[in-house]
């Protein structure tokens, strides 16, 4: 059992703008509410938090942990869940589970998850790290002129763009066709207001395909410009996985990138996500679904 309390969590920052490792907590135990509150605060402050050596955590415990933070979503809007676990999404490199692309989870729906809980199962002898980027810091570092432009901008996100296949997804045709079996399109604000902290962040990533009101070339240029500011090294943290590790990230203020640099080696991770609120822009306008109903995937969260 963990002996940590909310007042003595062992938190070690890993980078200047994002990421912290927390020691002394057994995530498979019945965590005291004070510890859970402390973890929530750490997550909001550091955007992504990491835990080593959580070997006792199994799929049931993984889901129980996530439920302490909010209602679970289904595993994925279109891709099959882990067998027997409808709320667990497994990414197995042997079955096309590779996606070396900067993205925020499930932004092609109108209700992206509030947070993601990723458990490490199997890792290669080399490579397979994950990067996270702080999209709040990226917004805060924008020049005033660019900030004024994007504060009112809207972007269309869709899963019709298959990031797994286009970015080294292993060529698994079955998984690729499953990914686009239902097409979703959603118009999101480019700048969303965090429902808990009030921070402004850039809501883009690999599912963002064009900016409303701009030509294809103009959209590509603006998205490329903003993405380069999100993923500048100073905004990122890199995690070198070991089996049993857990990463929890705030999906409302981050992007992440699983590096596909391990050849034919095996890499397996399992993800559980909690329901998120419909994003709201600086002008108070919420995201709007254009195509596809995400109601079966997730309730609308309060945060």
Question: pTM (2 decimals)?
Answer: 0.94
Which range has the worst mean pLDDT, 1-5, 112-116, 156-160, 231-235? 1-5
* Active site annotation includes 105: yes
Q: Is the pLDDT of residue 6 over 60?
A: no
- pLDDT reading at 169 higher than 60: no
Is residue 250 among the annotated active site residues? Answer: no
In the residue annotation, 210 being an active-site residue is answered as no
Q: Quote the percentage of the chain above a pLDDT of 70.
A: 93
Q: Would you list the domain boundaries of the chain?
A: 10-291
Hey, how many other C-beta atoms are within 10 angstroms of the C-beta on 70? Answer: 19
* pLDDT attached to residue 295: 97
For residue 161, pLDDT over 50 is answered with yes
Q: Which of 98, 157, 210, 256 is catalytic?
A: 256
Catalytic residue (choose from 40, 62, 98, 103) = 103
Active site residue 46: no
Catalytic residue among 105, 110, 245, 250: 105
Domain at 10-291, CATH homologous superfamily: Clavaminate synthase-like (3.60.130.10)
Position 179 scores a pLDDT of 82
Confidence of residue 167 (pLDDT cuts 50, 70, 90): very low
In the prediction, which pLDDT does 7 show?
A: 56
């Amino acid at each position: 059992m963990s002996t940590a309390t909310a007042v003595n969590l062992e938190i070690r920052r890993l980078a200047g703008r994002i990421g912290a490792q927390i020691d002394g907590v057994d995530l498979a135990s019945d965590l005291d509410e004070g510890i859970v509150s402390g973890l929530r605060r750490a997550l909001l402050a550091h955007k992504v938090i990491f835990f080593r050596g959580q070997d006792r955590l199994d799929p049931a415990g993984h889901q129980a942990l996530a439920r302490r933070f909010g209602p679970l979503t289904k595993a994925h809007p279109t891709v099959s869940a882990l067998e027997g676990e409808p709320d667990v999404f497994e990414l197995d490199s042997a079955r096309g589970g590779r996606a070396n692309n900067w993205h925020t989870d499930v932004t092609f729906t109108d209700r992206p998850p509030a947070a993601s809980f990723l458990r490490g199962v199997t890792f290669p002898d080399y490579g397979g790290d994950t990067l996270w980027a702080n999209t709040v810091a990226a917004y805060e570092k924008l020049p005033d002129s660019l900030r004024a432009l994007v504060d009112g901008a809207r972007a269309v996100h869709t899963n019709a763009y298959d990031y797994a296949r286009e970015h080294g997804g292993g060529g698994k045709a079955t998984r690729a066709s499953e990914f686009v079996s239902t097409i979703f399109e959603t118009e999101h604000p480019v700048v969303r207001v965090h429902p808990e902290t009030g921070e402004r962040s850039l809501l883009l990533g690999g599912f963002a395909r064009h900016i409303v009101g701009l030509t294809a070339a103009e959209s590509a240029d603006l998205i490329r410009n903003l993405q380069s500011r999100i993923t500048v090294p100073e905004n990122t943290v890199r995690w070198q996985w070991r089996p049993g590790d857990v990463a929890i990230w705030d999906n409302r203020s981050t992007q992440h990138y699983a590096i596909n640099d391990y050849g034919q080696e095996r890499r397996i991770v399992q993800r559980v996500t909690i329901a998120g609120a419909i994003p709201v822009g600086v002008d108070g306008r919420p995201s709007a679904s254009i195509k596809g109903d995400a109601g079966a995937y997730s309730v609308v969260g309060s945060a």
